[in-house]
Structure 1
C-alpha cells in the first residue's frame, strides 16, 4: 500500500535551467518543423537564441503584411440610425419609441481591420518588446506597435485560430500567427537569469506538463521520417465492446493517449504517456516506488486495445515519461506480453545531452533506429 502522495514539485520541475525551457518551447513549436537541419542544430545547441530568431521572423512577417495591407473582417454593431441598415431590432425600436424620434434600431456588420487576428498580432509585439535586448529588434517592434496604434487596432492575448480558415492569400497570416503563439508561450512568469523557479501552483505545473507533452510530440515528428514512422498525438482509444446495451455509448468514456509511435517496418507500436510529477512516490514498505495509478492507466491503454486484426496491438510497448532534475531512470518489465518502460529525461543536462537521451530512449523499443532523421 502506498502512502498518500506528497507534493513532489520541488523534485521535478522546481529548478529548470532557462536554456532548457527554451529548448522545450523549440521542440513544441510549429517553427521547429520548418527549420533547416543546420538551423535546428544551431538552436538546439543554443536554445536561448530562440527569442532572437522568433523576433526577427516576426518583424519580417509583420512588415511584409503591413506593406500589402492587413486582412479585414466583419464586426457586428447595434446602433440607432436614421435609416435602415442590416437587420431591424423591432422590439428595441418599439420599446424606446424610436420611430417617433425619426430613428430605428439596427443590427449590421461593418468591414474593419480591428479584428481578433490583428489584435493578437499587435499584442505579440508588446510581449516581445519586453523580452528583447537587441536595439535593432527593439526599434523594429516599436515601429510595429506605432503602426498598429495609428490604425486604431487594439490588443488581445486570446485568439481562436482553430476557427479561422486560410485561403491561398492567407498562408502568410498562418505563419505569422504561429510565431505569435510561440511569443506568448515564451512569456514565462518570474523570469530571471540563470535558472527558473516555478511557483508551486497547479496552473504552473499544468503549463509545464502541457509544454513537455507538446515538446516530445514535436521532437518525434521532426526527427522521425514520416516514410518509416506513423506518429499520432492525442489519439482517442476506445473500449472493445461486445453486446452493448442501448444507452451504454452515452456513458462509456473514451481514453486519450499523449503519443503513439509505430514503425512501419517492425509492425510494432509504442504508446507514450507523459507526466509532470516525480516518477516515484513513497509506500509503507519502500522509500521509492513507481506510482500505481500511472501504471494502471498505461496497462489499460495497452490491454484494452488488443485486437487480433491489429497485430501491433498484441505486443505494444508502453512508456511513462517524466521530466526530472538530476535524476535518470530507465527501467522496464514485460507484463502479459507488453513491455512497460519507466523513464525520465533530466532537464538539468546540456541541451545536446537531452536530445541524445531522447533519441536513445525512443530507439530502444524498435528493431532499428536507422531511419531517424539525424541532424547533427
Structure 2
C-alpha cells in the first residue's frame, strides 16, 4: 500500500497544485494512520475556509403552490391538482440560494464520514460542528452526481479542491451496498487510484519539465471515410513528452501489488504491444499532416 504521505504529494500534482506547499504543515502536525484521516483533515481545513469566506450561491429551479403568482404559472399541474379551489396556483420560479449542488455534495460527504468507522472521534466531532453551517442546504444522493459536469468559474473556483476530495472519497473509498448501506474500503479503489496516478505523472512532468511540451492528446483515426455509426474506440495516449526533435509516449500502469508476477505476464505484455502497434502508425500520420 502507498504510504499516506506519498498519497498527499500525488494529490498535490494530480490536482494541479491547488494543494499548496504551505499546506504541507498538515503532514508535520499529524501522523495520518489511514487515508480517511488525511482526506478528512484536508476537507475540514478547506470547509472551514469556505465557511469564513461565504458559500457560493446560484439560481435554483423551484416549483411550489402559491397564493400569488411568482415566475411562470404551471397551468397543467395547477388544473391537475385543483389548486384553484384552494385559491392557489402552481408556479415555476428561480430562487437565488446557497442550496447549489456543490454545497449539497460537501454536506452529504461530511454526513457519510460521520458514520464511517475508519474516521476517529476527533474528526467526526469537527464534522458535526461544521454541519451546523449547512442547515439551509439539502443533502443529495452522491451516487447520482455526474462529477465531470461540475463547472468552475471565477466565482466558485475555491470549491475545486473540496469537490476533488469529495469525489475521491465517494468514488474511491465508499462502496454502496444494495440495501442502501455503505461499505468503507481500507484504501482507494484500484480504478480510482489508477486515474489519480495517471494525472499525477502527467502533471508532475508538466510542472517539473518546463522546457518539454507535456500533453495527453487524442489520436485521430486515419481513415478515408468516417463510419456512420461512429463506434470507433477513442485513441488517447496517457502522456506525451515532446522536445525539439524527439517525442516520448508513456503508458502509465497502476497496480496495487506492483511486483506481482501476473503484472508482467506474456499475455499482458503482448496486449500492451498490440496497443502501441495501433497507436504509433496513426500518430505518425497525424504528425505528418500537422506539419
CA drift of 1:144 comes to 0.9
Structure 1 counterpart of 2:276 = 298
Q: Would you say the 8 A contact 2:172–2:193 is kept in 1?
A: no
With structure 2 as the length reference, what TM-score do the two structures score? 0.71
Cα 1:35–1:97, aligned 2, differ >3 Å: closer, same or farther?
A: closer
Distance 1:127 1:105 in 2: 35
CA drift of 1:259 comes to 0.8
Structure 2 counterpart of 1:67 = 52
Cα 1:249–1:54, aligned 2, differ >3 Å: closer, same or farther?
A: same
Query: For 1:229, which of 186, 209, 212 is the aligned residue?
Result: 212
CA drift of 1:221 comes to 1.5
Structure 1 counterpart of 2:197 = 215
Structure 1 counterpart of 2:242 = 263
Deviations 1:105-126 (A, max 9, x none): 2222223323221111112223
CA drift of 1:272 comes to 1.3
Q: Would you say the 8 A contact 1:26–1:50 is kept in 2?
A: no
Deviations 1:163-208 (A, max 9, x none): 444443423222322232234355355645xxx7xxxxxxx9xx51
Distance 1:166 1:128 in 2: 25
State the secondary structure of the residue aligned to 2:39.
helix
CA RMSD for the aligned pairs?
4.0
Query: For 2:127, which of 116, 141, 146 is the aligned residue?
Result: 141
Deviations 1:317-362 (A, max 9, x none): xxxxxxxxxxxxxxxxxxxxxxxxxxxxxxxxxxxxxxxxxxxxxx
Q: Would you say the 8 A contact 1:269–1:312 is kept in 2?
A: no
Structure 2 counterpart of 1:331 = none
Query: For 2:98, which of 100, 113, 116 is the aligned residue?
Result: 113
Distance 2:51 2:129 in 1: 11
Cα 1:309–1:123, aligned 2, differ >3 Å: closer, same or farther?
A: closer
Q: What 5-or-longer segments of structure 1 have no aligned partner?
A: 1-16, 197-203, 282-287, 314-376
Q: Would you say the 8 A contact 1:117–1:159 is kept in 2?
A: no
CA drift of 1:223 comes to 4.6
Q: Would you say the 8 A contact 2:212–2:241 is kept in 1?
A: yes
Which protein, 1 or 2, shows the higher relative CO under an 8 Å CA cutoff with sep ≥ 6?
A: 1
Q: What 5-or-longer segments of structure 2 have no aligned partner?
A: 175-182
With structure 1 as the length reference, what TM-score do the two structures score? 0.57
Tell me the number of residue pairs that the alignment of Structure 1 and Structure 2 aligns: 269
CA drift of 1:78 comes to 2.4
CA drift of 1:291 comes to 5.2
